[in-house]
Structure 1
Amino acid sequence: MTRTARQCNSPRNLRGSSKGCRDANKSVAKQMVKISYNDLPAKYRSCLLYLTIFPDGDPIRRTTVCTRWIAEGLITSRENHAQDEADSCIDALLSRGLIQPGQISDTGKIKTFTLHRVVREVITMIARDVNFVDTDLPPDLARHLPVHSRTGVQTSHADRSMKAADGNGIVAFLPDLAKSSQWQLMKMLDLEGCRGLKKHHLKSICKIILLKYLSLRNTDITELPKQIEKLQCLETFDIRQTAVQSFATKSIMVPMLKHLLAGQAESPSNNSDGPQDLFTAVRLPSSIRRMEQLETLSHVEASHRLSDLTDVGHLLRLRKLGVILSGKKGALDILFQQIERLHGCLRSLSIQINQPVSKNEDTPCAEEVITLVSPPKLLQSLNIRGIRSDLLMWIAELDQLTKITLSETYLAEDYTRILGKLAALRCLRLRRNSYAGSRLTFKDEEFKSLKSLVVDDGIIINISFDTGAAPKIEAVVWYFATMESISGLLCLPKLKKLELNGDCDPDAVRQELDEEHPNSVDFKHRPGHGHQEDGATVAASTSMSK
């Protein structure tokens, strides 16, 4: 071998060649991103650039970013179809590979997404070139504030860096922001996850007269100031995962409000690893009928004044409703009457009775309520807790229903036949005391569209699938206290995931899936994570059959 050949094949030159290939590939990737960006409809390009304000590598929540796009004026649509337009933008970004899917819901909808490193580099450069974002603010502060109408706070970079790094972040920065002449002109303020918010901070926020989007989600606030009514332009108010239980006044009027998001999820079994379906919520304000723009009202508690429930039926743009009742006589009757008035608009419904009945008791006011005469035919998602199955016969009429979550319903076996006939049902969640029997059977020609099954009910000890049942099911997740068997897995041709949570011997199931199932099923067994009673996991039996 000549000296030149030896030099060309030396490790140093090979490393250099490899680096050159990587650089070339990255250059090509950037060009492809630019092509995809230019291929986007012009109205969606700003939405993509907007994503640069979120921290690098963090998953971006779909619902949050869509609502913020709307609040910032990046998504506009006539006839109140802005949310549909935002969803179309997400689809456009996905189809061009500009965002990567993250968490996907049981119904197949993307809940979170991320930006590839190369995509972020390209759109960050474009955003700077067109002066889309305020590069004068530290990134950990910029994500909380609107991209337009920046505040121009007159503080030094050193002060900003110190305040951003002291553990309080944007909260420590709020007093400086409030001194800005642009403070009252901001349209969006996202304080999700921030700690240290005080009453004076909230009073200052209530002076932002043009504010459209305010998120206090997962903060440590416990009460709201009376001045909240001054936010006359507010469209989205998010107080989920907070200790707020009521507004400062019994009656509140925010005329432009479209989305009131409240409530804090709690696990019924005190099992942080298991599903959650209990909520505490903010008290339903009086005279809510005056807020005619409301599209989302979830979750609110209507236990103190049942007469307030009658206002709900006047919200004829309501698409999502989540209500908590105390079990008072007549409450369910009034609520059902209001739901009938919303039959042409409601897409998502959640009803929780805080004093659910036992297996041998009747639902409160059962003698007064038989069924919904005119159920919401456009309903796609339904969450019921504490209503006996004999009051839910109207579910059979919901031919667009894709997702059902049930608990404390004590379903009889024949009632599962009704669920099995729902043509659009893709996700079924059976939680605590949802089923009256111990053996859950999926029969032939039932659940034809079902893709996801979650069972978290300590009563159920046996699950079986007959041939021809649930032919499209892809995921089965079971939390159990005692397990006798799970059978018919080989009858599920589309099965991709099986998760067993509880103490058992998984070897028989694992062997069956490995040796006989046509798919490479992702099988997981998590002992000690099963359904709990009074905080203690009940030991499970160990037999499993085919």
Structure 2
Amino acid sequence: MREVNAGFSPCGMGGLGKTTLAKKIYSQSQVVGHFKHLVWAYVSQNCQKRKVWEDILSDLNILSEADKKMKVEKLAEKISSFLEENKCLVILDDIWNTGDWDSLKPAFSARETRSKILVTSRNKEIISHADRKSFLYELQYLNYEQSWELFQKIAFPPTNSPGLPLAIIILGGILATKYPSLTEWLKVSVNVKSYLKSDKGEVLRDVLALSYDDLPPYLRPCFLYLSHFPEDYEIPAGRLIQLWVAEGIVSLKQEEGDAGQIAEDVAEGYLMELAERCMIQVRERDIATLKIRSFQMHDLMRDVCLSKAKQEKFLNIADQSNACLLSTLGSVRRISVHKFFSMQCIRNPRLLSLLLFDGFLPKEECRKLLPLTMQNYFDNHEDEDLNPLLWFVAVLGWSVLATKCRGIWKYMFNNFNFLRVLDYERGGEAGCKLPNDIGKLIHLRFSRLRGLEFFSSKLPSSLGNLSCLQTLDLRIGICSESIHVPNVLCRMRQLRHLYLPEQCSRKTKLKLGTLRNLQTLVNFNTKSCYVEDLINMTNIRELEIRGPFNIEDFNTEDLSKNPPIVRSKYLHSLSIINDEGRIDPRHLAHLLLSCENISKLSLVVEISKLPEYHYLSSNLAYIKLGRCMLEEDPMPTLEKLPYLRMLELHEMAFIGKELFCSAQGFPRLESLSLSHLHNLDEWKVDEGAMPSIQQLEIQKCIQLKKLRDGLRLIATLEELKIESMPKTFKDKVEEGGEDFCKVRHVPSIIFHDCFGSNYD
């Protein structure tokens, strides 16, 4: 393969498609196979050097907790060293000025490296400043014919070409919602014509503004709510929908329109409407349902959103520049904090929502208070006697930090008594414990404390006062192995989404049987919760069991006499994750028999034998098996499922030597992934098996010798990915090898990180 140009850099005004072009390069099979690691980092107008570098390390899978606390210069050294030793492609998207590049440059200072950097920018001077030898690719405006062709693709669904020049896409999205009403089209035409006399930049802004003006009243607050999130932030759809519902943006009148439909369903429809209008850019869809899982906003669309939110007094973004204003302004009742901001500057007693996207304390202050954490000390002085002075410094630092954190918590809990939403995005030190004062927030409907690190293993019993809570996320970090959750959750009868800690203290068993509105339950454990409570949760949609799953008083002689475990006809997703040993196959079979409508099943637990076919829901579209240690071939059971579209057998899911896919098996399967099946040496595929397969991944199945002839007859296969396989296997599959004739019809064949292979 030809070497990717070191300085290929798209540039041009916002909305021309720089990011789209970079993403096409990023996802090309030849590029994926050429580089060992691919990294994407958003820079944007507000360049945060540390965040960009941490994002790069995270994409490279080498970001540690210690990295988050080390000096920023050390991060640059770590990146530079890694890029020198490994062949990587790094895309820096949307650099605004030369100063930002100069601040980021130390991470890319390796002299001899096969890694490449691709930069996108609106300013072509930045490209030449970064690298005089770089190839500048300046995107051009579409001509009339190209613009008309694109417009038709967007305005006349269902043909949709995502990621094309922004103004045309937005305008097409507006008209697509009005098709085939000629009257409505003429109204839009009149509005647009008045803008076309302006320069191109103003036309773009005006068309984006028109997309907001055209929104129906019920969608406007939904769109404005997106202004809470930072630039280039990938917004999880589920979390956003929970926020919309908690704030009452989805009205009960609209919810009551359809028996069986709930607020979350209505909100999901609103999100789909915003996507159809091209006002958001979908990033990920649910595997089983194809519903939106995450999305982003184009930065120009986000500018419109921020402008309208400010104009409507919908939201304030808190930063040091408006600290004085926030101390006196009481009309805006939603505040979002993107960078550290002193909470005491907010003096609005009628505040409704507070979203925090940065650390609880500034990182610089944490580093001063904690010059040497205890964990780092032990890591670096394993075989040495404890230094009393260093121990004292560390303990003193923790003490000062805990006092500061406690003061912030108490200020919030005592001054924002009308708060409905408290969403904490970023983990980090949060003090000794969560203060009892949280019980004063009796109007709270959404509380997300995920990733916060407390020193105490006990949560306050005053949580029971929060009877209005709809979403509670307790997946907090802690020094001890388990967290004591007081037995007060049963009072929260409005709860719709509950995320328990990964390990709850087993001293107290939580009573959850009163939570009849619960839709999401994560980290349910039979050692800290009662199995019989699940039967009362008739609205449950997603259930994740972590740890052992044991049914008390189970009748092993006559299985039919055991009562059902789940009675919710809405349950669509079931996960079981257990590192503590094998699950009783009879208990698993009985649980699966209760889940007759699930479409997603994930089993990361030792089961040794897959339950028989009649225990599995015929609606299953996605199955993931991991660490199951199956001794018998699971394919004869799984291939009978009529709607199964994606199957993943990962990490010793199967420990036998042979898998067999028979003729007419897996009629709807589109994606199959075989990964870390270390004993697999034979995979047989009959003619007529998997007639709909599009993607096939084989990863680290080190005993597998060859591909079978059956693949030759699968005309639908579009992508074959071979990763971390022996070079002998790769040599057989690639062009010229003995197995190439079986896959020569596949448009995209990707080899990645195969042992001993050379991609230069």
Indicate whether the TM-score tops 0.5. Answer: yes
Task: Give the residue type in structure 2 aligned to 1:185.
Answer: F
Task: Give the residue type in structure 2 aligned to 1:477.
Answer: E
Determine if the alignment matches structure 1 residue 526 to structure 2 residue 708: no
Q: What's the CA shift for 1:281?
A: 6.1
Aligned to 1:423: 642
Query: Mapping of 1:200-219 within 5 angstroms?
Result: 201-219=434-452
Determine if the alignment matches structure 1 residue 155 to structure 2 residue 345: yes
Taking the aligned partners of 1:257 and 1:162, their CA distance within structure 2 comes to 27
Determine if the alignment matches structure 1 residue 227 to structure 2 residue 448: no
Task: Give the residue type in structure 2 aligned to 1:155.
Answer: C
Determine if the alignment matches structure 1 residue 101 to structure 2 residue 282: yes
Q: Is the 8 A contact 2:564 2:590 kept in 1?
A: no
Once the two structures are superposed, what CA deviation does each residue of 1:444-492 show, in whole Å capped at 9, x if it has no partner?
A: 3222222222223323234444433223333323332523223344444
Q: What's the CA shift for 1:412?
A: 6.3
Taking the aligned partners of 1:109 and 1:120, their CA distance within structure 2 comes to 22
Q: Is the 8 A contact 1:128 1:135 kept in 2?
A: no
Q: Is the 8 A contact 2:471 2:498 kept in 1?
A: yes
Taking the aligned partners of 2:322 and 2:666, their CA distance within structure 1 comes to 46
SS at match of 1:42: coil
Taking the aligned partners of 1:329 and 1:181, their CA distance within structure 2 comes to 43
Determine if the alignment matches structure 1 residue 117 to structure 2 residue 299: yes
Give the 3 Å change call, closer, same or farther, for CA 173–340 of structure 1 in structure 2.
closer
Task: Give the residue type in structure 2 aligned to 1:36.
Answer: S
Aligned to 2:309: 127
SS at match of 2:498: strand
Q: Any unmatched runs of 5+ in structure 2?
A: 1-139, 144-164, 166-197, 337-341, 348-355, 367-403
Q: Is the 8 A contact 2:572 2:600 kept in 1?
A: yes
Once the two structures are superposed, what CA deviation does each residue of 1:385-433 show, in whole Å capped at 9, x if it has no partner?
A: 233435343344x222111122354556664223112122122122334
Range that drifts further, 288-297 or 198-207: 198-207
Q: What's the CA shift for 1:313?
A: 1.3
Give the 3 Å change call, closer, same or farther, for CA 492–238 of structure 1 in structure 2.
farther
Taking the aligned partners of 1:467 and 1:515, their CA distance within structure 2 comes to 12
Aligned to 1:85: 266
Aligned to 2:208: 33
Q: Is the 8 A contact 1:388 1:408 kept in 2?
A: no
Taking the aligned partners of 2:477 and 2:553, their CA distance within structure 1 comes to 26
Determine if the alignment matches structure 1 residue 252 to structure 2 residue 489: yes
SS at match of 2:625: strand
Taking the aligned partners of 1:370 and 1:179, their CA distance within structure 2 comes to 47
Give the 3 Å change call, closer, same or farther, for CA 328–293 of structure 1 in structure 2.
closer
Query: Mapping of 1:258-269 within 5 angstroms?
Result: 258-262=496-500, 264=502
Aligned to 2:584: 364
Task: Give the residue type in structure 1 aligned to 2:471.
Answer: T
For the aligned residue pairs, the C-alpha RMSD in angstroms reads 4.2
TM-score, normalising length from structure 1? Answer: 0.75
Taking the aligned partners of 1:373 and 1:164, their CA distance within structure 2 comes to 46
Q: Is the 8 A contact 1:329 1:364 kept in 2?
A: no
Determine if the alignment matches structure 1 residue 486 to structure 2 residue 661: no
Q: What's the CA shift for 1:121?
A: 1.7
Q: Is the 8 A contact 2:471 2:495 kept in 1?
A: yes
Determine if the alignment matches structure 1 residue 238 to structure 2 residue 473: yes
Taking the aligned partners of 2:265 and 2:505, their CA distance within structure 1 comes to 28
Q: What's the CA shift for 1:205?
A: 3.2
Aligned to 2:601: 382
Q: Is the 8 A contact 1:380 1:400 kept in 2?
A: yes
Taking the aligned partners of 1:140 and 1:525, their CA distance within structure 2 comes to 49
Task: Give the residue type in structure 1 aligned to 2:497.
Answer: H
Q: What's the CA shift for 1:250?
A: 4.2
Taking the aligned partners of 1:479 and 1:332, their CA distance within structure 2 comes to 40
Taking the aligned partners of 1:75 and 1:421, their CA distance within structure 2 comes to 41
Q: Is the 8 A contact 1:282 1:299 kept in 2?
A: no
Query: Mapping of 1:93-492 within 5 angstroms?
Result: 93-107=274-288, 108-137=290-319, 148=333, 155=345, 165-166=362-363, 175=408, 178=411, 183-199=416-432, 201-221=434-454, 222-240=457-475, 242-243=477-478, 245-250=482-487, 252-253=489-490, 254-262=492-500, 264=502, 285-303=509-527, 308-324=530-546, 326=548, 330=552, 337=562, 339-357=564-582, 364=584, 366=586, 371=590, 375-384=594-603, 385-389=605-609, 391-396=611-616, 398-411=617-630, 415-456=634-675, 457-482=677-702, 483-487=704-708, 488-492=710-714
Range that drifts further, 253-262 or 462-471: 462-471
Give the 3 Å change call, closer, same or farther, for CA 365–524 of structure 1 in structure 2.
closer
Q: What's the CA shift for 1:326?
A: 3.2
- In the alignment of these two chains, the number of paired residues is 483
SS at match of 1:444: coil
Q: Is the 8 A contact 1:44 1:89 kept in 2?
A: yes
TM-score, normalising length from structure 2? Answer: 0.55
Give the 3 Å change call, closer, same or farther, for CA 191–459 of structure 1 in structure 2.
same
Once the two structures are superposed, what CA deviation does each residue of 1:334-376 show, in whole Å capped at 9, x if it has no partner?
A: 999565541523222223455544xxxxx6374x887569533
Q: Is the 8 A contact 1:442 1:464 kept in 2?
A: yes
Q: What's the CA shift for 1:150?
A: 5.5
Q: Is the 8 A contact 2:648 2:674 kept in 1?
A: yes
Give the 3 Å change call, closer, same or farther, for CA 194–96 of structure 1 in structure 2.
same
SS at match of 1:56: coil
Determine if the alignment matches structure 1 residue 500 to structure 2 residue 727: no
Once the two structures are superposed, what CA deviation does each residue of 1:221-258 show, in whole Å capped at 9, x if it has no partner?
A: 35422221121111111133634734443453222211
Taking the aligned partners of 1:462 and 1:240, their CA distance within structure 2 comes to 42
Give the 3 Å change call, closer, same or farther, for CA 96–328 of structure 1 in structure 2.
closer
Q: What's the CA shift for 1:49?
A: 1.5
Range that drifts further, 318-327 or 410-419: 410-419
Taking the aligned partners of 2:462 and 2:211, their CA distance within structure 1 comes to 46
Taking the aligned partners of 1:489 and 1:140, their CA distance within structure 2 comes to 63
User: Sequence identity, in percent?
Assistant: 21
Q: What's the CA shift for 1:189?
A: 0.9
Aligned to 1:8: none
Task: Give the residue type in structure 1 aligned to 2:512.
Answer: I
Task: Give the residue type in structure 1 aligned to 2:750.
Answer: F
Q: What's the CA shift for 1:211?
A: 0.9
Once the two structures are superposed, what CA deviation does each residue of 1:492-542 show, in whole Å capped at 9, x if it has no partner?
A: 4343433333241224323277996445315142247xxxxxxxxxxx9x9
Query: Mapping of 1:11-30 within 5 angstroms?
Result: 24-30=199-205
Aligned to 2:246: 71
